[in-house]
Amino acid sequence: MDANVKNVPKAAFHREANRRDIGLYLHVPFCVKRCHFCAFYLVMENEKRMARFLAALDRELELYRQHPVLAHRDVSTVYLGGGTPTALSRTQLSSVLARVARSFSLTADCEVTVEATPESLTREYLNTLLEAGVTRLSIGIQTFVQEERIRLGLSSTIEEATAGIRLVKPAGFTNVNIDLMYGIPGQSFTSWENTLRLACEWEPTHLSCYALSVEEGTRFDSAFRRGEFRLLDSDREKELQLHAIEQLELAGFCQYEISNWSKSGFQCRHNRRYWQGEDVLGLGPSAQSYVAGCRFGNVANLEQYCLRLEHGDLAVTERETLSIFQQHKERVVFGLRMLEGVPNGWIDLNARDPAWAASLASFLEKKYLVQTPERVALTAKGRQFADEIGSQLL
């Protein structure tokens, strides 16, 4: 093994060397400001920091490219998230993607997603993304209601956000996701309905609808502790989710995961990897990887990330090798988030543990799960308690 890859967890690579497909996640940790609910690792954008980050990312790609196992694997999905990848200049973003394509063998139908804030989208930027090989755009809108945008601390007004989305289709993007959020303080049933309707009017191929959660260290967390707002109770939150299910179905979307809907043929292939326990290599500060049964993560600190790579080492700080049994359990729990459920064969692998088998039998009996001759899936009732069911099966 090359000395430069000494920080790569070895357990991650000594097995399944001939499995071909892998996904790449690149974390671009820059934003113009932090939204009140956001707990992702990021720093404020700044030219010097960005240039140093890009040099470190280049080095990280080079180190992984050299690895004997990764060198022979095709990359079928690439996902640039953050942060805001479109905080990078057009030249910087194209050179990252060109570097990825030079470092790995990308499949002919490789799905390349870039997350974007709507206000960062200009005609020129969109053209650059298309020319650089981006096949899918994921736009963080959250809400089409201006007061809710202010409450979330989003950096753009509804007019600025709309001006960005308006350019996407004419530029030639045919696969577009819009992220929405429900459970925003003060959000009414009508305003959620309005946001869903307006999102559908832009004819995206994919929608993600997430419930607001209060994450430690965010501005919402401090405001929540000071009693400045209350979260929706879980019944109200379920009502809003059920409303999304009904409204999006009427608009021709198919729910394929608890929080994700798509038009036919437009499920997110990269995110399916996580739910199906497939391998993803994460690059950039705080990025997480799961490769051949080993989970490992990069340091969530830009300075340390850059320093480590400048010294020729990877920035991996945490690693955990999962037992075969843990791997199977996780695959079932994450797989159950998808409406298609998981093959019976995955269940059989876990059923050797009597306690696990008993929990599963009880969920089947209570009709939270349903089993066909081929698969096991959550029922509509079970999907409302997916987190609770998941934690019991882990």
The residues that touch ligand SF4, with contacts defined as CB under 6 A, are: 31, 34-35, 38, 40, 42, 82-84, 117, 140
* CB of residue 217 to ligand SF4, shortest distance in Å: 12
**Residue with Cβ nearer ligand SF4 (83 or 204):** 83
E strands, the chain, are: 21-28, 30-31, 43-44, 74-82, 105-116, 136-142, 176-182, 206-211, 254-257, 260-262, 280-283, 288-291, 294-298, 316-321, 342-343, 369-371, 375-378
**Residue with Cβ nearer ligand SF4 (29 or 341):** 29
* CB of residue 243 to ligand SF4, shortest distance in Å: 23
**Residue with Cβ nearer ligand SF4 (75 or 114):** 114
| Phi (first) and psi of residue 57, to 5 degrees | -65, -40
* CB of residue 82 to ligand SF4, shortest distance in Å: 5
Which residue from 304, 356, 300, 291 is spatially nearest to 325, judged by alpha carbons? 356
* CB of residue 140 to ligand SF4, shortest distance in Å: 5
**Residue with Cβ nearer ligand SF4 (150 or 242):** 150
Give CA–CA dist 117/269, Å, rounded: 21
Give CA–CA dist 77/136, Å, rounded: 11
**Residue with Cβ nearer ligand SF4 (75 or 176):** 176
**Residue with Cβ nearer ligand SF4 (57 or 116):** 116
Contact 195, 164 (CB under 8 A): no
Give CA–CA dist 133/191, Å, rounded: 36
Amino acid at position 172, single letter = G
Which residue's CB atom is positioned nearest to ligand SF4? 38
* CB of residue 209 to ligand SF4, shortest distance in Å: 15
* CB of residue 35 to ligand SF4, shortest distance in Å: 3
Give CA–CA dist 115/141, Å, rounded: 11
